[in-house]
Amino acid sequence: MSDVVEIRLRVNGRERRGRVPARLTLADFLREHCGLTGTHLGCEHGVCGSCTILLDGAAVRACLMFAAQADGAELTTVEGIAAPDGTLSPVQEAFREHHGLQCGFCTPGFVVTATAFLKDNPDPTDDEIRDALSGNLCRCTGYQGILKAVRAAAESTEQEAR
């Protein structure tokens, strides 16, 4: 088995290629090779959710994958959630408006998780929102601003669909 592998993937719509150590995590690849530092490393055990990204549209923990496992995939990090012109997504806007940002360390993981969740469940109940976010940890304070933000994003997305 080779210690170095060649990978090719799309990150936030841009093709990325590299020769990386076979055991380099996807989170480290994104941070060190792509310069995308919004993917945070909190626990490096997949428990905190700070490293959540979208892999082919599904929310995954980038600290639990090797970069080589993402070869050929389409990734979206928190940096790719906004529109190309910088317009915030409904989830990002709601986090800003409803004080879901707090210190900001956990925010990228929450934003990516909520984005994936609302794509699959555009009209969730509050219990469904809590359940969807239960894999993400915030160490600052309560989750009320985060929950309000996801509820507001769901409502704004639902209104846009009408």
H/E element holding 90?
A: helix 90-97
The beta-strand segments (E) located in the chain are 4-11, 14-21, 52-55, 58-61, 74-76
Could you give the CA distance from residue 43 to residue 80 in angstroms, rounded to a whole number?
23
**Radius of gyration, CA atoms only, the chain:** 16
pLDDT truncated to tens, each residue of the chain (162 aa)? 569 999 999 999 999 999 999 999 999 999 999 999 999 999 999 999 999 999 999 999 999 999 999 999 999 999 999 999 999 999 999 999 999 988 889 999 999 999 999 999 999 999 999 999 999 999 887 789 999 999 999 999 765 665
Angle at 66 between CA 39 and CA 43, to 5 degrees: 50
Write down the residue that tokens 């936030």 correspond to.
Answer: 12
Taking a C-beta distance cutoff of 8 angstroms, is the pair 94, 149 a contact? yes
